[in-house]
């Protein structure tokens, strides 16, 4: 039995994963060849039985299952608005947008390149330096609570109504 990954997850293609281009959806070939291999961090969010859908910002690529390096998801995405934490006299806090997410092989962490007032900031930042400002809607399953009240379902005077093993009156 194949142990499929739990989606969404994040990863990088540091090397070209297999010979040829059969693993790339034909419509996405030119984009993939420009972006892979690289340290760019992709979010793999769905699988249709043939292709995984990889997201990088607003761009979506389709690739067949191939070898990649899984990276811990730190909760930030390209396009998110973040606050850069101030650092004493070293760094002023500011509001910025994540423009690039790259994987640092030395520290095994994601580095974020930010844009502030339509200009790229000169440094890269880690998740420890950032505070999430964008909120993403998350759907969650609604657990329906069913409360049965026998008095409302059957009147006290109707046949079939009976309180079992209780001495207390119910209101």
* Integer Cα distance of 113 and 89 in angstroms: 21
Residue 49 has pLDDT above 90, yes or no: no
Task: With beta carbons less than 8 A apart as the criterion, state whether 6 and 45 touch.
Answer: no
- Mean pLDDT along residues 142-164: 57
How many domains in the chain? 2
C-alpha Rg value of the chain to the nearest Å:
26
Q: In what order do the strands lie in the sheet with 9-12?
A: 59-63, 52-56, 42-47, 9-12, 69-71
Whether omega for the bond prior to residue 79 falls within 30 degrees of 0, making it cis, is no
Residue 150 pLDDT: 56
How does residue 117 score in pLDDT terms, banded at 50, 70 and 90? very high
Same structural domain, 13 and 60: yes
Final residue before a domain boundary, out of 25, 51, 71: 71
pLDDT digits (tens, 9 = 90+) for 27-41: 999 999 889 999 999
The DSSP 8-state label assigned to residue 87 in this structure reads: B
pTM for the whole structure: 0.73
- Domain span at residue 113 reads 81-132
Residue 145 has pLDDT above 90, yes or no: no
């Amino acid at each position: 039995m194949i142990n499929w990954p739990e989606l969404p997850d994040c990863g990088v293609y540091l090397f070209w994963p297999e010979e040829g281009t059969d693993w790339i959806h034909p419509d996405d070939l030119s984009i993939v060849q420009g972006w892979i291999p690289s340290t760019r961090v992709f979010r793999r969010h769905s699988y249709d039985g043939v292709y995984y859908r990889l997201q990088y910002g607003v761009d979506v690529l389709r690739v067949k299952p191939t070898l990649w390096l899984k990276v811990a998801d730190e909760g930030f995405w390209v396009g998110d608005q973040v606050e850069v934490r101030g650092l004493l006299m070293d760094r002023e806090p500011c509001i910025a947008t994540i423009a690039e997410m790259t994987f640092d092989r030395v520290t095994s962490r994601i580095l974020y390149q930010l844009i502030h007032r339509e200009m790229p900031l000169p440094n890269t930042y880690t998740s420890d330096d950032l505070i999430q400002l964008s909120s993403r809607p998350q759907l969650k399953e609604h657990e329906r609570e069913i409360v049965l009240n026998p008095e409302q379902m059957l009147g006290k005077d109707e046949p079939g109504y009976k309180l079992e093993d209780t001495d207390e009156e119910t209101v």
